[in-house]
Structure 1
Amino acid sequence: MHSRPVIAIAGLACETSTFTPSKTLAPAFHPQRGHEVIQEYAFLHPGTSLANIADWRGALIGHALPGGIVTRPAFEELAGEILSRLKDIVASTPRLDGLWFDIHGAMCVEGLDDVEAELLRRIRAVIGPDVVVSASMDLHGNVSRELAHQTDLITCYRMAPHEDELETKERACRNLVDLLTKQHSSRNNRLRPFKAWIPLPILLPGEQTSTRVEPAKHIYAAVSRVEAMAGVIDAAIWVGYAWADEARNRAIVMATGWDKAAVAAGAEKLAKLFWDAHADFKFVGLAGSFKMCLDTALASSSRPYFISDSGDNPTAGGSGDMTWGLTKLLARPEFKDASSPTVIYASVPGPRAVETAVAAGVGATVTVTAGAEVDNIHAGPITMTGRVHSIKHGDKNAGIEVVLQVGSVFAILTKLRKPYHKEHDFTDLDLQPRCADIVIVKIGYLEPELYAMAADWMLGLTPGGVDQDLIRLGHRRIRRPMWPFDTDFEPRPNISARFIPLSHEPLTGPDE
Structure 2
Amino acid sequence: MPVTRPVIAVAGLGIESSTFSPARTEAPAFHPQRGADVLARYPFLAPGRPLRTAADWHGTLVGKALPGGTVTASAYAALSAELIDRLKESGPVDGLWYDIHGAMTVEGVEDAEAELLARIRETVGPDVIVSASMDLHGNVSRALVHLTDLITCYRTAPHEDVTQTKERAARNLVEHLASGAPRPVKAWIPVPVLLAGEQTSTRIEPARSVYAAVEEVAAADGVTDAAIWVGYAWADEPRNRAAVVVTGPDEAAVTTGAERLARGFWAARHDFAFVAPTGTLDDCLDAALAATARPYFVSDTGDNPTAGGAGDVTWGLRQVLARPEFQDPSGPTVLYASLPGPAAVDTAVRAGVGATVTVTAGAEVDDRHSGPLTMTGVVHAVRHGDRDAETEAVLRVGGVYVILTRLRKPYHHEHDFTDLELNPRTADVVIVKIGYLEPELFAMAADWKMALTPGGVDQDLPRLGHHRIRRPMFPFDPAMPAPDLTARVIPSPDRPLGAPEE
TM-score bracket, shorter-length normalisation: over 0.9
State the SS of the aligned residue for 1:231.
Answer: coil
Indicate whether 1:99 and 2:101 are aligned: no
Deviations 1:230-280 (A, max 9, x none): 000000000000000000000000100111111011011111110111111
Q: Which residue of 2 aligns with 1:285?
A: 276
State the partner residue of 1:458: 449
Q: Aligned ranges for residues 422-441 of structure 1 at < 5 Å? A: 422-441=413-432
Taking the aligned partners of 1:127 and 1:257, their CA distance within structure 2 comes to 23
Structure 1 position 488, deviation (Å): 1.7
* Equivalent position of 1:12 in the other structure: 13
Deviation at 1:2, TM superposition (A): 5.8
Q: Distance in 1 between matches of 2:494 and 2:449?
A: 49
Q: Which residue type is aligned with residue 464 of structure 1? A: G
Question: Whole-Å Cα distance in 2 between the matches of residues 249 and 350 of structure 1?
Answer: 32
Residue 195 of structure 2 corresponds to 204
Q: Is 1:154 the equivalent of 2:151?
A: yes
Residues 103-136 of structure 1, C-alpha deviation per residue, up to 9 Å, x if partnerless?
A: 0000000011100000000000000001000000
Structure 1 Cα separation of the partners of residues 41 and 189 of structure 2: 33
| 1:108 equivalent in alignment to 2:99 | no
| TM-score (structure 1 length as normaliser) | 0.97
1:143 CA drift (Å): 0.3
Name the aligned partner's letter for residue 9 of structure 2. Answer: A
Question: Which of 374, 379, 383 is the matching residue for 2:374?
Answer: 383
Contact 2:25 2:70 in 1 (8 A): yes
Q: Which residue of 2 aligns with 1:173?
A: 170
1:161 Cα deviation from its structure 2 partner: 0.5
Amino acid at match of 1:79: S
Q: 1:499 aligns with which of 481, 489, 494?
A: 489
SS at match of 1:256: strand
- CA deviations 1:202-256 (Å, max 9, x no partner) are 0000000000000000000111100111000000000000000000000000100
Alignment of 1:19-58 (within 5 A): 19-58=20-59
SS at match of 1:479: coil
Partner of 1:265: 256
Cα deviation 1:56-78 (Å, max 9, x = unaligned): 00000000000000000000000
Q: TM-score, normalised by structure 2?
A: 0.99
Alpha-carbon shift at residue 150 of structure 1 (Å): 0.2
2:3–2:178 contact (8 Å) kept in structure 1:
no
Which position in structure 2 is the counterpart of 1:509?
A: 499
Structure 2 residue ranges without an equivalent (≥5): none
Work out the CA distance in 2 between the residues paired with 1:306 and 1:195.
43
Alignment partners' CA distance in 2, 1:373 and 1:7:
43
Letter in 1 for 2:178: T
Aligned pairs (5 A) from 1:189-338: 191-338=182-329
TM superposition shift of 1:182: 1.3
Cα distance in 2 for partners of 1:359, 1:106 equals 40
Question: 2:414 is aligned with what amino acid?
Answer: E
Corresponding residue for 2:358? 367
Aligned to 2:332: 341
Secondary structure of the 2:217 match is helix
Identity of aligned pairs, percent? 66
Cα distance in 1 for residues equivalent to 2:326 and 2:478? 43
RMSD: 0.7
Unpaired segments ≥5 residues, structure 1: none
Q: Which amino acid aligns with 1:502?
A: S
Letter in 2 for 1:67: G
Structure 1 runs of 4+ aligned residues shifted over 4 Å read: none
The answer to whether the 8 Å contact 2:295/2:429 transfers is yes
What letter matches 2:139 in structure 1?
N
Alpha-carbon distance between aligned partners in 2 of 1:366 and 1:272, rounded to the nearest angstrom: 58
Q: CA deviation at 1:510?
A: 3.1
Query: In 1, Cα distance between the equivalents of 2:59 and 2:257?
Result: 34
Aligned partners of 1:408, 1:2: CA distance in 2, in Å? 64
Q: Does structure 1 retain, via aligned residues, the 8 Å contact 2:3–2:179?
A: no
**Is structure 2 residue 450 aligned with structure 1 residue 449?**
no
* Displacement after TM superposition at 1:339 (Å): 0.7
* Counterpart amino acid of residue 402 in structure 1: A
Classify the secondary structure of the residue corresponding to 2:51.
helix
Indicate conservation of the 8 Å contact 2:288/2:429, yes or no.
yes
**Cα distance in 2 for residues equivalent to 1:37 and 1:233:** 26
Q: Secondary structure at the match of 1:126?
A: helix
In 2, distance between residues paired with 1:318 and 1:455? Answer: 26
How far is 1:3 from its partner? 4.2
CA contact (8 A) 2:29 2:65 kept: yes
The aligned length equals 501
Tell me, yes or no, if the aligned pair for 2:303 and 2:454 is still in contact at 8 Å: yes
SS in structure 2 at match of 1:40: coil
Corresponding residue to 1:475 among 462, 466, 484: 466
Per-residue CA deviations over 1:419-474 (Å, capped at 9, x if unaligned) read 00000000000000000000000000000000000000001100000000000000
- Give distance in 2, aligned partners of 1:504 and 1:324: 52
- Measure, in 2, the Cα distance between the counterparts of 1:178 and 1:2: 10
How far does residue 489 in structure 1 lie from its aligned partner after superposition? 2.1
Could you say which residue in structure 1 is the equivalent of 2:76?
75
